[in-house]
Chains A and B, each alone.
Chain A
């Protein structure tokens, strides 16, 4: 899909069926800077199935984790960069992600996504369990992210069609990097 489509979808990414754990999204700040780039600071709240053994350590009242996301869209250079890191009351696990969407250098109807994630788990004896869980989740999330945007793009297209028809209707440190070519 062309960069404009992917970027528009990325701004409206939630809710989507591939990320059922995201339960809330809010914009904390948004402004266009002096060079014409749009900065957005967003807060995402997620509720995900924490294993009961972890819950018994951190307490059942703290099952929501929050993600802080900073995105920059440059409409002239056609880049969108997303940086997110999780904030949680326990600070056991931190996940920092960076995604960059750019038009494909040779095929203008496609978008390239580069994605990296840094996962850190601090000082808990369950660290190897959590690391394993996180590493699997992060790499399957990379694909999920692409599917999620595909879903949002289809939804937006369906909405447009409907409208024109009726009108006449995201331990120890580990790092993963992936590059995708978006259709």
Chain B
């Protein structure tokens, strides 16, 4: 599955693999301590946030983003 930002797809895949493993093997079994995917997530996030700003996607209610309403251009 691709990322909304094309450049972020590889980072997303690495993070997803880490998360899916942790989710099924640890979290659902009651061991939610320690998230081994923190670093991967940070790198992936930086990329995604940039892509969202560039594409002017109007997301509301999230701390890291102000909502971008108004005229939009073609997505890159």
Are A8 and B28 interface neighbours, CB within 8 A? yes
Are B62 and A26 interface neighbours, CB within 8 A? no
Closest chain B residue to A16, Cβ basis: B1
Are B62 and A29 interface neighbours, CB within 8 A? yes
CB contact between B3 and one of A11, A22, A26, A75 (< 8 Å): that residue: A26
Chain B, range 7-31, C-beta contacts under 8 Å to A? 8, 12, 15-16, 19-20, 23-24, 27-30
Q: Which residues of chain A come closer than 8 Å to B2, judged between CB atoms?
A: 23-25
Chain A, range 1-44, C-beta contacts under 8 Å to B? 4, 7-8, 11-12, 14-15, 22-30, 32, 36, 38, 41, 43
Total interface residues in chain A, CB < 8 Å: 32
**Chief secondary structure at chain A's binding surface:** strand
Contact with A along B49-76 (1 / 0, CB 8 A): 0001000011110101000000011110
CB contact between A87 and one of B27, B28, B58 (< 8 Å): that residue: B58
Closest chain B residue to A87, Cβ basis: B58
Report how far A76 CA is from B5 CA in the complex, Å: 35
Report how far A28 CA is from B45 CA in the complex, Å: 7
Closest chain A residue to B61, Cβ basis: A68
Report how far A162 CA is from B20 CA in the complex, Å: 18
* Given A26-B48, A75-B27, residue A89 in contact with residue B59 (CB < 8 A): no
Are B28 and A28 interface neighbours, CB within 8 A? no
Are B20 and A12 interface neighbours, CB within 8 A? yes
Q: Tell me if A61 is interfacial: C-beta within 8 Å of chain B.
A: yes
Report how far A62 CA is from B73 CA in the complex, Å: 9
Q: Which residues of chain B come closer than 8 Å to A25, judged between CB atoms?
A: 1-4
Are A89 and B58 interface neighbours, CB within 8 A? yes
Q: Which residues of chain A come closer than 8 Å to B60, judged between CB atoms?
A: 68, 87
Are A8 and B20 interface neighbours, CB within 8 A? yes
Q: Which residues of chain B come closer than 8 Å to A7, judged between CB atoms?
A: 28
